[in-house]
Amino acid sequence: MEKISEEVLEQKAQAIRKYLKTDLRYDLNFLPRPFMVELTGTPSSGKSTVTKELYDFFRQMGLRIYPPLEGAEEIQHIPRNTPVYNIRTGIYAWIKMIDESFHHNLDLIIFNRCIFDSYCWMMYWKGKELLSAEEEDMFQSFFLSRLWTDKIDLCYFMICEPDKAMQRENRIALSDKVRPYTNPATIKTLVERYKKAYEVLSPQHPQIRLIDTTNLDEQTMVQTIALDILNTLEDKTKENKI
């Protein structure tokens, strides 16, 4: 059999690349990465409600939107009484964020907890004395590395005061038993942590918003966040026109 030259193989491969337009398909300067929004915060602050309503709205507007499965739903084999759990759920979301930032098949991704969430949980575990100050700093520095924080275009720290949160939680709960992270004392601690994290992070990361939903009805809460997302992403399209 006659030997096939490398030049022939390369010519055929180049013809396939030309058909597939790979020079455009993988060029972030031609096709931008998806916009990415993170929702994080305290229990019963409205994250799931906002995620669902944003998903429905943006789909109706013709955008291809993807809400990844929350880390807590995916990572169920690790107990929640250890910082390893929140490190693992953070890594799960981080991998999805990195991978999707190099894809072009989506327009908008809404994370129910991602890298900023992981930062806040390290504060919680340091307060529980299950992380040292050095460990807290190490994990926080990883999750908020300069290499990827700009991939989150908007992040909402959603908080709700304990009394209102418990009222919302018990409205449809099947059990009256107090859960580890859905009780007034823990919610109060988490509210304080998110407020502190916002004070520390917002000067460096202007994409972070702090929203107290305690006195907001669901419609107002959803509309407020939806409008902010639309305004912010509209401004980004003007800044980064290709």
Cα atoms found within 13 Å of the Cα of residue 72, Cβ hemisphere only: 11
Q: What is the DSSP letter of 150?
A: G
Looking at the domain assignment, is residue 53 inside a domain? yes
The domain tally of the chain equals 1
pLDDT at 241: 64
Position 20 pLDDT exceeds 90? no
237 within a domain of the structure (yes/no): no
Residue written as token pair 């918003």: 209
The per-residue pLDDT for range 221-232, each reduced to its tens digit, is 999 999 999 999
Specify if 41 maps to a domain: yes
Q: Give me the residues paired with residue 121 across strands.
A: none
Question: Which residue is associated with the tokens 């929640």?
Answer: 80
Does 240 map to a domain? no
**Residue 240 predicted with pLDDT over 80:** no
pLDDT at 16: 87
Read off the pTM.
Answer: 0.88
Is the residue at 8 inside a domain? no
Supply the mean pLDDT for the chain: 91
Give 71 or 28, the one with higher predicted confidence: 71
Task: Tally the C-alpha atoms within 13 A of residue 202's C-alpha that lie toward its C-beta.
Answer: 12
Residue 236 within a domain: no
Q: What is the CATH number of the domain that holds 206?
A: 3.40.50.300
Per-residue b or e along 6-20, where b marks 16 or more CB atoms closer than 10 Å to that residue's CB? eeeeeeeeeeeeeee
Structural domain harbouring 182: 34-222
* 22 inside domain: no
Rounded to the nearest angstrom, the gap between the alpha carbon of residue 41 and the centroid of all alpha carbons in its chain is 11
Report yes or no on 24 lying in a domain.
no
Contact present, 26 and 143 (Cβ < 8 Å): no
| Residues 140-199 pLDDT 10s | 999 999 999 999 999 999 999 999 999 888 776 545 555 566 789 989 999 999 999 999
